[in-house]
Structure 1
Amino acid sequence: MVSLITNMIIQFDSSVYAFCVNEKDHNAKYFIDDLCSSRKLGYIVLYSTKRIILAILNRSDLSPLQKAIINNIKEMITFKLSLFERVKFRAIVFHSQIGFDKSMYDDTNLFIDLHDYYNRYTKNGINPFNKPKLVLEDINDYKVYNYICKWYKNNNTVFTDHNISLDIEHGGGNRTANICEQYFSDGKTVFSICDSDSKYPGDPKKHDTASSLIKLFSSKININQLYVLKCQEVENLIPLSILKGTANGTQLPAVKFIEHVIDHDPEYYFFIDLKNGFKYNLVFPDVETEYSRHWSKFFEDFDCEHYNRSVQGVINKAIPTNSSIICKLSSMLPHAIDRMNSMPIDTEIEPYLIAEWKNIAERIYSWGCSGKQLRVF
């Protein structure tokens, strides 16, 4: 059985009580050591009945530091009720040999079994309450997610006193599923966010990276620990205002087209290929495709000198049919991401971005919500 390392909201099942009051069981001692260590470092937020917390406090083998940490947990539980109501995804800590009833919980949660704690965790050098992994296709993607989470926190006071505690790891495109599987095999809890690579709304094709991650998380891990973006790539989460402010003169025609698309149907912004632009033979093929049906309509009333010149060049056979008729923004996007990550947190966000930004932030906060470090001495 794979043992999981996690941090987020930790919830104690009632089966933990009998385990914690038994001072003759050395497993409980190792569990409390790990719990206190991770809470002191700010890795976890704990949700428990006071009965269980008092049972731990009454143990005779607690150090003064551990007593102070447990006391802090006891005092803060009441103040965190709004957080517990808001965030439903959590790690359920239970003991499989002491009357645990899994049917009381949603299967979407994580589960940590305290039975044989030493051999399951400590002996293998595992503290199950340490930081989990968030594996991204490109580690720089987190610059976008980090700003989105700061924006979300700024607009949701329930998270004011809480941080995100995740180890961000580089997946490397198509290797992302392999990296996730390796971390899982090593006993670590792993989460992932990936691009959909969808080319238009409702694109039914399962693209490589997303497809392999869906298969892995569905079969071996937990599909709720994966989020596939509802857009082509992470760059489609960048506000138009940032693209406008970053583009140079040669890139402005592409930005003008993006604005044109948003004016007609903002949903399509999420599926614009910002890195590679639009190629004539794909937008205007000899035989209509689903891709051309979705995208050609936006060019019908688009008037731009660069675009008109490009199309005329293809018609006159001066340039190949697979030429871009809207220029690529691949060289600009890293600068746009840096600009986005440094913009004021109270900047007004375009309305069409808000729903997906919320989806992402809610996932990340539920996966990595943590308390602040404790300074109890």
Structure 2
Amino acid sequence: MLFCIEESILDVLQDERVKDALSNLAMARKKGKHLIYASRKVLEELIRSSELDKFPRDVFLRLNSRSSKLKAYLNEFDRRIELVSDISIVQKYIDKDGKQVIKLPIYFLEELNLVTESMLILEDINDYKMYKYIVDYALAKRNLTDVKVNFNIIPGAGGGISKVFLEKIKDCKHLVISIADTDKTSPNESLGPTIRPLIRYYNRIKNKCLGEAFYSEYHEVENLIPQFCYEKLGLLTDSEIKSYIEVATTSLVKEELKIPIEWKVFQLNVYKLKRQDVFKYFDYKKGITLTNFKNIHGEEYWSKILSDIGVKFNIDDYKPIDDINKGTLVINGFNDNVLNTTFEILGETNLNLLDTLLSEELKILWVNIGDFLINWGCGGIPIRFL
């Protein structure tokens, strides 16, 4: 996180709590866990101060030598913490440039453990490799070569993510963020049972907490994998895609499709429809089953997709959807290990080539997620003294 030392701090340097807070912040920057911005005037005052120990003054001296770069951070990041001495509670506001600002009494840094990274709570810590890849892509795209993103990854125990988030936020010892899957399989569905309590709780405390709960419009982390990885997993070749998409036909299908539809056939037809939004809601692990038709939004969405690709499917033939038939496959998925399998393919891909391989839908998701994680996890190259 970017911490900004405001000028009001200079008036309270004799306070032992402020000295300890600035020493903690300097140590966090030395270790590369967080970033610091202060104006040249503030840095020079801190460097000259007889109230501070030598160590924090040395760190501020090093930062002062790079003051022009520090100022650029104010434009690079959409979130920051401003350390001030003239308030007693956390305050949040949006500045004139639309950036989110947390005004934090500097005395709070006494309790905040800055020497460890911000906490990132995930439903499954295995998901972080995907988020880390998105962060690396976003850093490269923005040319932030001297920014390092660090997190202390905390497992949310699946459906227990809201409980873990609540415990960590109440503890007030760390910066705490979370990312949770929406579990939506169609655009107009409600959020899933895992994320609902998390967002409900966060909305009650968001204006006074040192953290953030984040989600974006995708079913789960597998939906962030680019389609070219699923093409390879489904043994779909470039020539098949080209011939199927480019051949002029009066119908999108070359033969009548019946359920369950194989993934490869479904993917080709969605390409033909140019409906990339479908890939945000598809359940890659389980596929689409009759369960996904149980609510009116899912029924309308998937019935329309199936109709558009030429599948003779009438959901009324399968009603009532109950415990006996709800698992009936409509479109095949893969398996519970699909994230690891597709990530192996993604991991072999040059980051510089990704812009040509990502759909516009996925680029938007990646940018939103990457920016969120960079803002909360940003640190620098560790400072080393001779």
TM range (shorter): 0.7 to 0.9
Work out the CA distance in 2 between the residues paired with 1:53 and 1:111. 19
| Cα distance, 1:28 vs structure 2 | 2.9
Correspondence for 1:176 among 132, 155, 161: 161
Matches within 5 A, 1:188-267: 188-203=174-189, 205-222=190-207, 225-247=212-234, 253-264=262-273, 265-267=275-277
> Residue 287 of structure 2: which of 273, 277, 285 is its match?
277
Tell me the amino acid that sits aligned with residue 140 of structure 1. N
Q: Using the alignment, how far apart are the partners of 2:104 and 2:326 within structure 1?
A: 57
Cα deviation, residue 238, structure 1 = 0.5
Corresponding residue for 2:7?
Answer: 14
- Picking from 105, 110, 121, the partner of 1:113 is 105
- Deviations 1:62-98, CA, capped at 9 Å, x for gaps: 5554333111111222123333212131111111369
Of 327, 333, 341, which aligns to 1:328? 333
The one-letter amino acid of 2:367's match is: K
**Gapped regions of structure 1 (runs ≥ 5):** 1-7
Q: Residue 346 and residue 121 in structure 1: after superposition, are their counterparts in 2 closer, same or farther (change >3 A)?
A: closer
In structure 2, relative to structure 1, the CA distance for the partners of 1:281 and 1:375 (3 Å cut) is closer
Whole-Å Cα distance in 1 between the matches of residues 156 and 340 of structure 2? 18
Q: Give the Cα separation in 1 of the matches to 2:92 and 2:378.
A: 25
State the Cα distance separating 1:193 from its structure 2 match.
0.9
Q: For residues 258 and 82 of structure 1, do their structure 2 counterparts lie closer, same or farther at Cα, with a shift above 3 Å needed?
A: farther
1:87–1:190 distance in 2 versus 1, CA, 3 Å: same
After TM superposition, give the deviation of residue 255 of structure 1 in Å: 3.6
| Number of residue pairs matched by the alignment | 346
CA distance in 2, matches of 1:111, 1:169: 26
C-alpha RMSD of matched pairs (Å)? 3.3
> 3-state SS of the aligned residue for 1:330?
coil
Give the direction of change, closer, same or farther, for the CA distance of 1:59–1:211 in structure 2 (3 Å limit). same
Deviation at 1:299, TM superposition (A): 2.1
The corresponding residue for 1:289 is 296
Q: What is the CA–CA distance in structure 2 between the aligned matches of 1:220 and 1:181, rounded to whole Å?
A: 10
Distance 2:297 2:93 in 1: 46
Between the aligned residues of both structures, percent identity stands at 20
CA contact (8 A) 1:96 1:114 kept: no
Q: Secondary structure at the match of 1:93?
A: strand
Output the CA distance in 2 between the equivalents of 1:96 and 1:255: 62
- 1:91 matched residue in structure 2: 81
Range moving further from structure 2, 49-58 or 173-182: 49-58
Between the aligned partners of 1:134 and 1:280, the Cα distance in structure 2 is: 34
What secondary structure, in the 3-state scheme, does the structure 1 residue paired with 2:269 have? helix
Question: 1:90 aligns to what SS in structure 2?
Answer: strand
Q: For the residues of structure 1 that align with 2:303 and 2:16, how far apart are their CA atoms? A: 69
Render the CA deviation track for 1:230-252: whole Å, top value 9, x for unaligned: 11111111101111223469x99
> Partner amino acid for 1:329?
F
Q: How is 1:40-189 mapped onto 2 (pairs within 5 angstroms)? A: 40-60=30-50, 62-96=52-86, 106=95, 108-115=100-107, 122=110, 126-128=112-114, 130-157=116-143, 159-187=144-172, 188-189=174-175
Letter in 1 for 2:11: A
Question: Distance in 1 between the 2:166 and 2:326 partners?
Answer: 42
- In the TM superposition, residue 212 of structure 1 has moved relative to its aligned partner by 0.8
Compared CA separation, residues 174 and 147, structure 1 to 2 (3 A): same
1:369 aligns with 2:359: no
8 Å contact from structure 2 (residues 148, 378) kept in 1: yes
Q: Which has the higher contact order (CA 8 A, sep 6+)?
A: 1
Say whether the 8 Å CA contact 2:185–2:282 is kept in structure 1.
yes
- Cα shift at 1:258: 3.0
- Local SS of the residue matching 1:109: strand
